[in-house]
Amino acid sequence: MNTDRLVNEFIEMVKVSSLSLKEGNFASLLSAKLKTMGFEIYIDKAGEKAGGDTGNVLGRLKGTLDSQPVLLCAHMDTVVPGENIKPIIREGVIYSDGTTVLGGDDKAGIAAILEAVRYIKENNILHGDIEVAFTICEEGGMFGAKHMDYSWLKSKLAFVLDSGGDVGKVIVQAPAQLKTLTTIKGKAAHAGVAPEKGISAIQVAARAIDNMKLLRIDEETTANVGKISGGGATNIVCDKIEIAMEARSLVRSKVEAQAKHMLDCIDNACKEYGAEHETTQYLNYPEINISKDADVIKLVGSAIKRLGLEACLESTGGGSDTNIMNGKGLQAVTIAIGMTNVHTTSESIAIKDMEKAAELVAAIIQEVK
């Protein structure tokens, strides 16, 4: 790998702001780079559907072998504070200046993919078709992956470079997430003159939440109330409050049971106080449970072994584009690229880990049969 080029390109990319749904400038930069490398480029309509300024950047590099295509993925967006990033290299590690995130999540993944493909081309290594998907708005709800034009892609195996931890870690299990959005409707009244004529939506919500099993439910399941909004003056009995909640589990039946429990608590509290509610529940993304015998696991395992490393198959409590891609019928795994302290102003990545990540991508391309 050309380490100087890898690092310089990463630094170039993190300096281009690309907050969720504002990835347009960065998408243009990536499109130009991919075209120079010989990729066919397609910008899909995900941005129009999600409300952003660009779609996903999809690309295909024609192979020199008649082997199955492989899809390499990373997301373009970063979390806030992610504008005017000033990267600093100190003792072989890249940081921001401490006022922003670094943006290694997930531009380190993109840099690894670009460098690996250049390595393959420059060394005349035979390969099948290489496809890339650089997605929008992963951080904002995986809307790029949800609205991606999968009909354009030929690959059945996908490798998503979007995890912290040592290179060699592979995420093979991740939870489904079911969201619950509810509006509790009580009855307004003057809190000092006639409070008994009112129904406090806040009191109803408090009773409902107090009866919920929350946070860690079991080793596979979690639940959380993330947002409560409503109310106004202290002299008015609150007549409306909105609550946003979630449940997650590696097992679909468990997440459904937890979501039902939370809804039952809302129902019961409303009946107790004479309130009403309007509630929407929906599956935000599906679970991942990939067999150790799956083709995608065998392939990434061989690639990791090629580097002299040992594959570490792990489970996570978070969701990513990988959940969506598996739900769309691909075999997709998330692979670690060495990011640390992501989503904070202390985010960093070691240059040696960026090199290993690029080497792993190149090994994956070479292992595809």
List 138, 139, 162, 347, catalytic entry: 138
Catalytic (active site) residue 77: yes
Q: At residue 46, what is the residue type? A: A
The 10 Å Cβ neighbour count of residue 86 is 14
Euclidean distance between CA atoms 226 and 83, whole angstroms: 26
Degrees to nearest 5, angle at CA 133 with 127 and 135: 165
List 77, 115, 129, 321, catalytic entry: 77
Catalytic (active site) residue 138: yes
HEC string of the chain?
A: CCHHHHHHHHHHHHCCCCECCCCHHHHHHHHHHHHHCCCEEEECCHHHHHCCCCCCEEEEECCCCCCCCEEEEEECCECCCCCCCCCEEECCEEECCCCCCCCHHHHHHHHHHHHHHHHHHHCCCCCCCEEEEEECCCCCCCHHHHCCCHHHCCCCEEEEEEEECCCCEEEEEECEEEEEEEEEECECCECCCCHHHCECHHHHHHHHHHCCCCEEEECCEEEEEEEEEECCCCCECCCEEEEEEEEEECCHHHHHHHHHHHHHHHHHHHHHHCCEEEEEEEEEECCEECCCCCHHHHHHHHHHHHCCCCCEEEECCCCCHHHHHHHCCCEEEEEEEEEECCCCCCCEEEHHHHHHHHHHHHHHHHHCC
First to last CA, the chain: 23
Euclidean distance between CA atoms 284 and 282, whole angstroms: 6
Q: Give me the active site residues, please.
A: 77, 138
